[in-house]
């Protein structure tokens, strides 16, 4: 799952199968995140290797937004990590009601948004 966090709301959520890499993250930024951003917004990313591509920076700046990287080893400053923890907790409590993980994730996003 990839998503943004803005004003205590999830932004541009996307689920995918497999693992995240620069190509997948850049596509998410271009197709999902940038269209949701307002000019002048600040996009804060942690230091995951797939966040640090030049293309990601260019896409965000083309959308008239700025990019800021958190200091290394600062998960307490990364507000979306708290959302992911709540999402995992919700999924742990409700997963047995669904046949497919995708359905459980969709329900969790609807419930938590």
Q: How many residues does this entry show for the chain?
A: 113
Q: pLDDT tens-digit profile of 58-87? A: 999 998 899 999 888 776 777 788 888 888
**Superfamily in which the 2-112 domain is placed by CATH:** Ribonuclease H-like superfamily/Ribonuclease H (3.30.420.10)
pTM of the model: 0.78
pLDDT recorded at residue 81: 81
Q: What is the mean pLDDT of the chain?
A: 90
How many angstroms separate the CA atoms of 39 and 66, rounded?
9
Q: pLDDT tens-digit profile of 12-66? A: 999 888 999 999 999 999 999 999 999 999 999 988 899 999 999 999 999 889 9
pLDDT recorded at residue 41: 94
pLDDT recorded at residue 15: 87
Both tokens of residue 89? 């907790």
């Amino acid at each position: 799952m990839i998503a943004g966090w803005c004003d205590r709301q999830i932004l541009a959520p996307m689920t995918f199968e497999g693992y995240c890499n620069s190509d997948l993250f850049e596509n998410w930024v271009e197709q999902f995140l940038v269209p949701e951003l307002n000019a002048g917004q600040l996009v804060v990313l942690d230091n995951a290797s797939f966040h640090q591509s030049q293309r990601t920076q260019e896409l965000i700046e083309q959308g008239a937004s700025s990019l800021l990287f958190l200091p290394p080893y600062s998960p307490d400053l990364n507000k979306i990590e708290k959302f992911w923890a709540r999402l995992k907790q919700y999924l742990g409590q409700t997963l047995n009601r669904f046949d497919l993980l995708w359905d459980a994730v969709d329900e969790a996003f609807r419930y938590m948004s």
